[in-house]
Amino acid sequence: MGRHLGASADVIIAGAGIAGIAAAWGLARRREDWTVLLVDPRPPLSLTSNRPEANYRNWWPQAAMVELANRSIDLMADLQSSGATFAMNQRGYLYVTADAATAERLPARIAEYRGAGLGPAAADLLEPGEIRARFPHLSPGIRGAIHALRAGSVDTVGLGMAMLEQERGGGIELAEGRVVGVDVGSSGVRSVTVWTPDGLEQVETSRFVDAAGPWAGDVALFLGVRLPIETVLRQKVLMHDPLGVVPRSAPFTIGLDDRGGRPPGVHIKPDDSVAGDAIKLGWAVDQNPQPPIEDPACPREFPHDVLARAATIIPGLAAYLDRDPGIIDHDGGFYARTPDGMPLIGPLEVEGAYALAGLAGFGAMMAPAAGELIAAWILGDDLAGWAADFEPARFSGQYDRLRTPPGSAPSGEL
């Protein structure tokens, strides 16, 4: 990463996670003559963006999220057509329930998602017989499932690097430093102050993008703006599956049932990224917001808890409960989420300031389209009608009223 930042830049972006990279990519594709300065104290893609479960889906209950996801998946395909080599599959998301009442409600759930603009081919409703025939590793107690089809795994770090590399020569400059202030005059953003390894530097600019992930709220305060973002810890466990309990072709499988007072949402998938027999497990057990830290200590009981819960869906996993399953990795990061579960993409109250934040558990999958959209805002393009659903202004003056109810997750989180 470069050190000296130069006297001025056309745009300065705080944060070189996948959001900041996508914003820089979106701009550089359109304005090769611009200098887009991407500032971060850390190497690119080394924080939350380096810890995802690496999934994507167009299966969302909100019409605008369906639009954003479909556009993003199209852009991922374009990147691959132009030579990018990040791994991606389309095995789908499989939502399963062992509860009779929940199984009965699955058709209504499909109808709700179709109402958000998804076509009839977006998902299949699976009856118990078909589930057993197609996914014999699942518990015979599973009574119903939805298989969302435009969905699967994507190497999210590879995707971020592909965007960065594609436009690196086209105006994106990476700089090591932390944004510590934004100077605002009567006509808006005037300059950004960055703490670099060589000391403080002030760079003139009239356009600033807050893409600081879990710290986006703190960065917005430099502008005197409050963002409706709360941060919750999310963890994942990567372990060996030497018995081959989870077929290598299995979809990303998510449990819809709560049990024993504990929430739904445990999820399991095969993961070939580090070992040929690896599986990845996660579970949104904790909905209580807490301040983000860079390397959160993940509770030691989580691997056992998540495995025990996953074994209610995939009984073969119980074999690893009383022997060392061979844990490869257990880490976590923070979802930065808004009360309505949708991102902040667009202008802030200060002229020349923008946010690309609040990306919760979908920041990687939505990144290409979000980068394209923030570039359109900055360049003053015509916007699709659904872009308004992501405008930070939707929360104006309502920050305190619109918090996520304690202990719950915004709609569509999984």
Ligand X SMILES: Cc1cc2nc3c(=O)[nH]c(=O)nc-3n(C[C@H](O)[C@H](O)[C@H](O)COP(=O)(O)OP(=O)(O)OC[C@H]3O[C@@H](n4cnc5c(N)ncnc54)[C@H](O)[C@@H]3O)c2cc1C
The CB-of-113 to ligand X minimum distance in angstroms stands at 18
User: Which amino acid is it at 111?
Assistant: A
The CB-of-397 to ligand X minimum distance in angstroms stands at 25
The CB-of-306 to ligand X minimum distance in angstroms stands at 12
The CB-of-142 to ligand X minimum distance in angstroms stands at 23
Q: Which is nearer to ligand X, 68 or 103 (CB)?
A: 68
CA-nearest of 229, 76, 246 to 161 is: 76
| CA pair distance 253, 96, nearest whole angstrom | 7
CA angle 273, 168, 352 (to 5 degrees): 110
Residue 401 phi/psi, 5-degree rounding, is: -75, -25
CA-nearest of 13, 278, 399, 279 to 171 is: 13
The CB-of-64 to ligand X minimum distance in angstroms stands at 16
Q: Which is nearer to ligand X, 28 or 365 (CB)?
A: 365
The CB-of-15 to ligand X minimum distance in angstroms stands at 3
Count of other CB atoms within 10 angstroms of residue 231:
22
User: For residue 150, what are the CA distances in angstroms to 49, 59, 60, 69, 404?
Assistant: 22, 7, 11, 10, 28
CA-nearest of 256, 254, 311, 265 to 102 is: 256
E strand map for 289-389: 327-337, 344-347, 353-357
Q: Which is nearer to ligand X, 147 or 269 (CB)?
A: 269
The CB-of-237 to ligand X minimum distance in angstroms stands at 10
Interacting residues toward ligand X by CB under 6 A:
14-20, 39-42, 47-49, 51-55, 178-179, 211-215, 219, 234-236, 332-333, 335, 359-365
Q: Which is nearer to ligand X, 144 or 214 (CB)?
A: 214
Q: Which is nearer to ligand X, 128 or 181 (CB)?
A: 181
Q: Which is nearer to ligand X, 55 or 253 (CB)?
A: 55
CA angle 59, 265, 259 (to 5 degrees): 140
Residue 154 DSSP SS3: strand
Q: Which is nearer to ligand X, 139 or 191 (CB)?
A: 191
Q: Which is nearer to ligand X, 295 or 322 (CB)?
A: 295
Question: Is residue 253 within a helix (H) or strand (E), and if so which, with residue range?
Answer: strand 252-255
Count of other CB atoms within 10 angstroms of residue 26:
28
The CB-of-293 to ligand X minimum distance in angstroms stands at 12
Question: Do the Cβ atoms of 176 and 3 come closer than 8 Å?
Answer: yes
Q: Which is nearer to ligand X, 118 or 374 (CB)?
A: 374
The CB-of-392 to ligand X minimum distance in angstroms stands at 14
User: Which residues lie across from 329 on neighbouring strands?
Assistant: 238
Q: CA dihedral in degrees (5, 11, 15, 18; nearest 10)?
A: -130
